[in-house]
Chains A and B, each alone.
Chain A
């Protein structure tokens, strides 16, 4: 029971900290942080189900989040009919030919006995397929990118409501996870880590460079939103009375209302996931996963297919990360491929899971809140600390300028230190996993 009260107390402290931000830095600001806390918590839940339930190392969180973001563009962005007419068919043909190539390569792999001849046959199939597909692909993508490049220059999306993307995003991430899991699961644990690191780099490089698909570093802006815009809020009936009642400015209040809309959406999804994950954790399935994690040999002796279960849980976790990635892009209203950095999207999430408590869903959610809060607040605090620490240096001092310029890097050191301290002195996290349930 004490553990439960401890947990409630920690959540209460977190709420107070967010409220303090609201009072000091403004409520709009606090809600902005809260929304990202909610998304971080969902990402942390996804990583927790992989690491905490099953002991799988996913070092490619960034890639799955980026795929989720891509799903938003593909589903919700406005279609560009001219681009589709210019190159849609070519891209389709290229994709079809690549699909056929993969099928043929698989057939060769299965039918021929393992030999050097098979290896060369595979290389030949891949080479022929790529060259033929390239013949369709490059002219088509050039044509697409030539369509009004400053505003469009990409295929656009389906123009569906953005919430549909929240269903597609997990599927896209799950497909990538299936591919990686098939290759790397069942081998040494660090192979999965390297393979996921690899796929995440590839995903990000692809979305940065395939302009016909994502506009690359030119970004896709103006994605549709699931909640009304500030302008729409301002003309709603009763908004005047709300302004009068709260005493806030129209700008501030409309931004707060919009952010509250996002908060409600995100919180609903977080609660639903948390509920499902808690159910799963206490079900026979959850007990089996923990049994596999704690002793793979014993579990497989009991007839559990360890690799298959690992694949399942890896796919589920990655799908959740994909969903969170889609929510993030929805919140921003734009897709910025240049913004995907592993430190922010992969390693920060790991700090959340470890600090919160591996294997404990409430812990992961709390970790998501706490670490995101620290990450956001560390920058101003770091700058302030350095400013006071270097106040004695003369004004034009080069050292002072250098230190202040690089002050934002302090938060990386802080995150590393938090992770190391947590692993050393609190390896089970703030919310230790309950054993023997």
Chain B
């Protein structure tokens, strides 16, 4: 019995909690991607950079706050900086829309053209971010590191294995639940949410019913940019802020959005969790779990690791391929292909 408890603790510590946190970050990113697909009808390749921009704004705001001596210890200053990051990210998103994307929207340009435009935005934004903050790694979490540390947990339960919950992980999961709840409430019950869904389902009918497309597009960007800023900041808080990482996150985020079904908010959240859990579950070494569960005679020699962590992005890709082969519209039926 104790062995089982120990095995479960190991599993939670190294698989379930990190995957929940990572999945939350992916879900928030994918939700932003999917909102843009639903309303503006193109895959925004600059979304990773939008997240990066949000995280960068948060880092700058944290520096200013620290310089001013303002803190909300024991929590991380980044939480205080988050509103600033959101405002900055929304501003940059609305500016790019006004000066870049609107031109093509008005002309009803092909979605593929908009995709290429977003590549241009991505390049420019990546350059600006790296120019402003530099390409290096930056750790900006200054709060208490652990809610429960391994030693506390061991003392509390008397188990051999410890469970550590990092503050950043807890914050990530709580924030993600709040954000997802807010977005769903907004889409389901508010006037603007209903207009958004109507516009997404059938543009012409929505316009005939008096929906103002400019307003819808503005709201879509506000939502997507807010989610991007939060996701980016949380990711940076959980790991560290490094501009190049967000470019690599593009694949898991799009995989999450497509797995769930592009344009489907529920799908984006589910997809984020599916991608994160498969990624971490497949690259975790189960040797320690096995030592508790299997009798000594059956103990394996190897690491019991299905895939080296270097190949974590391959997991997103395999999931993506499987979904494209079996259910190209995604598990939650997004926009038809």
Contact = CB atoms under 8 A, between A and B. Distances in A.
Interface of A: 55, 57, 59, 183-184, 187-191, 193-195, 197-199, 201-202, 205-206, 208-209, 342-343, 347, 350-351, 354, 402-403, 405-407, 409-417, 419-420, 423-424, 427
- Tell me the interface secondary structure of chain B in the complex: helix
A190 B324 contact: no
B316 interface: yes
B311 A209 contact: yes
A199 B311 CA distance: 12
A183 B325 contact: yes
Interface stretch (B16-24, B205-213, B249-257): B249-257
Contacts of A351: 120, 123
Contacts of B317: 198-199, 201-202
A57 B123 contact: no
B119 interface: yes
Nearest to A412: B127
Contacts of B116: 57, 350, 354, 419, 423
A198 B316 contact: yes
Nearest to A416: B124
A202 B111 CA distance: 26
Contact of B134 (A190, A406, A424): A406
B243 to A, nearest CB: 9
Contact of A350 (B119, B247, B321): B119
21 contacts: A57-B115, A188-B262, A188-B335, A190-B42, A190-B262, A193-B45, A195-B320, A198-B316, A351-B123, A406-B130, A406-B132, A412-B130, A413-B124, A414-B127, A416-B120, A416-B121, A416-B127, A417-B124, A420-B100, A420-B117, A427-B113
A350 B254 CA distance: 20
A189 B114 CA distance: 12
A351 B120 CA distance: 8
Contacts, number: 138
Interface residues of B, number: 48
B127 A409 contact: yes
Contact of A193 (B43, B120, B316): B43
**Residue of B103, B130, B131, B254 most packed against chain A (CB within 10 A):** B131
Contacts of B126: 343, 412, 416
B157 interface: no
B325 A188 contact: no
Interface string B321-337: 10011001000000101
B181 interface: no
Interface in B224-245: none
Given A410-B127, A412-B126, A423-B120, A195 B134 contact: no
A189 B112 contact: yes
A205 B127 contact: no
B169 to A, nearest CB: 26
A16 to B, nearest CB: 28
Given A198-B255, A410-B131, A413-B127, A423 B320 contact: no
A190 B111 contact: yes
Contacts of A55: 112
B130 A205 contact: no
B111 A189 contact: yes
B316 A342 contact: no
Contact of A420 (B121, B132, B324): B121
A188 B42 CA distance: 11
Nearest to B128: A413
